[in-house]
């Protein structure tokens, strides 16, 4: 592993940055092989973690490292620059969850029906009636097709008391 960043983080700090726990960090390194790690020995020397071959290491639950003889080999450290792509995926996942929370599928038909009322369109009293002309511009404003907009409005019309 080439040295990219200048700061090496402990497993606890890496877990805090990625908003996860140390066990998940250990699994990403040892089982998934998605997160590169550096072994920093007690003397301070650094080497990339190798999980196979002559330089076989064992990563313990607390992210301390022992060599194949069971001798203490140091602790895992993580390059900040290697963690950034994982951090971006955490942020993107949180943003998409916030958007999903913001509007559930039940809210969209009601909101679109209200858009029609606010535009002054004469709405039918049941979901079998024809929708008025003018919903095309509202559908365009929503960024969906007229058919999808109509279906959504009619879904709300079906819930209205008769």
pTM attached to this predicted model: 0.46
Residue 76 and residue 49 in contact, taking contact as beta carbons nearer than 8 Å: yes
pLDDT digits (tens, 9 = 90+) for 54-101: 456 777 777 777 777 778 878 878 887 777 777 777 666 656 555 555
Q: Which residues, 6 or more positions from 30, have their beta carbon under 8 angstroms from its beta carbon?
A: 51, 59
């Amino acid at each position: 592993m080439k040295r990219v960043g200048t700061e090496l983080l402990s497993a606890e700090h890496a877990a805090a940055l990625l908003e996860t726990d140390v066990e998940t960090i250990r699994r990403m390194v040892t089982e998934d092989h998605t997160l590169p790690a550096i072994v920093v020995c007690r003397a301070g020397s650094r080497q990339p973690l190798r999980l196979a071959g002559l330089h076989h290491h064992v990563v313990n639950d607390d992210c301390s490292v022992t060599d194949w003889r069971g001798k203490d080999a140091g602790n895992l450290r993580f390059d900040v620059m290697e963690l950034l792509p994982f951090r971006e995926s955490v942020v993107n996942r949180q943003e998409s969850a916030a958007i999903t929370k913001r509007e559930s599928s039940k809210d969209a038909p009601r909101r679109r029906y209200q858009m029609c009322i606010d535009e002054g369109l004469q709405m039918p009293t049941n979901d079998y009636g024809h929708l008025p002309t003018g919903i095309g511009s509202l559908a365009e404003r929503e960024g969906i097709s007229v058919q999808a907009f109509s279906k959504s409005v009619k879904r709300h019309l079906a819930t209205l008391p008769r």
